[in-house]
């Protein structure tokens, strides 16, 4: 049962865009979610919205090859945006180039974009893709919230050590522009913190 206090409980699929002209009109507010394949991005989105299958959880990494928009009724033009995740995914070089250009333009020109959530497996944080996507956001003066998922896979001590190491690394590179937290989609630990950040950006 969803809570009426959760502004994301009624999130619903709106559209998927493979090219810039397929994006919805550039107005309102949206928050993008990025993460390498297998990082737990779909599970984090589902936990955020208290829905089991809002974002597709696939056993085959890299199936999300479009920008997927989820609308937040009853609000007008407020969206969660699931960005394509690569890493383990075997995709053609021309498709990789297409997405690199598309995402760079999206971060540079999309006025509705209010923040970026970067989802990383706590056991494998800050890979090249993560740093690249964070760089896109920071270069365009967007706030970034890094989420270390699958925290239940580690004990409290090791998890805290990684959290502190990631925070120190990002602070050295970007100052206070990137916040960091841990999250477990299984136990729901950290979901309220993530929900508060995203709700603040979207003003819901």
Among the listed residues 19, 11, 199, the one whose alpha carbon sits nearest the alpha carbon of residue 106? 19
Name the most confidently modeled range: 42-51, 80-89, 98-107.
Answer: 42-51
Give the model's confidence band at 52: pLDDT under 50 very low, under 70 low, under 90 confident, else very high: confident
Contact 132, 86 (CB under 8 A): no
The pTM (predicted TM-score) of the whole model is 0.91
* Angstrom distance (rounded) from CA 125 to CA 131: 10
pLDDT over 80 (residue 50):
yes
Q: Which residue has the higher pLDDT, 62 or 92?
A: 92
User: Which residues face 80 on adjacent strands?
Assistant: 31, 70
CB 197: neighbour CB atoms within 10 A? 17
Q: What is the DSSP letter of 30?
A: E
Q: Which residue has the higher pLDDT, 95 or 185?
A: 185
pLDDT score of 149? 96
Give the model's confidence band at 60: pLDDT under 50 very low, under 70 low, under 90 confident, else very high: very low
Domains and CATH numbers, the chain: 12-202 (3.40.50.300)
pLDDT over 70 (residue 3):
no
Q: pLDDT by residue (tens digit) across 65-98?
A: 789 999 999 988 999 999 987 654 567 788 878 8
pLDDT score of 86? 64
């Amino acid at each position: 049962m969803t809570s009426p206090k959760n502004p994301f409980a009624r999130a619903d699929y709106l559209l998927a865009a493979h090219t810039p002209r397929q994006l919805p009109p550039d107005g309102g507010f949206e928050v993008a979610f990025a993460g390498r394949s297998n990082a737990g991005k779909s599970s984090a989105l589902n936990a955020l919205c208290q829905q089991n299958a809002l974002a597709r959880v696939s056993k085959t990494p890299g199936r999300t090859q479009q920008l997927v928009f989820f609308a937040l009724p009853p609000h007008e033009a407020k969206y969660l945006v699931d960005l394509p995740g690569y890493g383990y995914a075997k995709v053609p070089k021309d498709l990789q180039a297409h997405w690199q250009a598309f995402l760079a333009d999206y971060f540079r020109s999309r006025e509705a974009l209010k923040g970026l959530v970067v989802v990383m497996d706590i056991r494998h944080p800050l890979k090249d893709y993560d740093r690249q996507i964070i760089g896109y956001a920071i270069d365009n003066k967007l706030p970034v919230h890094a989420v270390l998922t699958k925290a239940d896979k580690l004990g409290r001590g090791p998890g805290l050590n990684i959290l502190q190491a990631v925070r120190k690394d990002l602070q050295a590179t970007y100052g206070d522009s990137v916040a960091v937290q841990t999250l477990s989609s299984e136990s729901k630990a950290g979901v309220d913190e993530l929900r508060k950040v995203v709700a603040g950006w979207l003003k819901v």
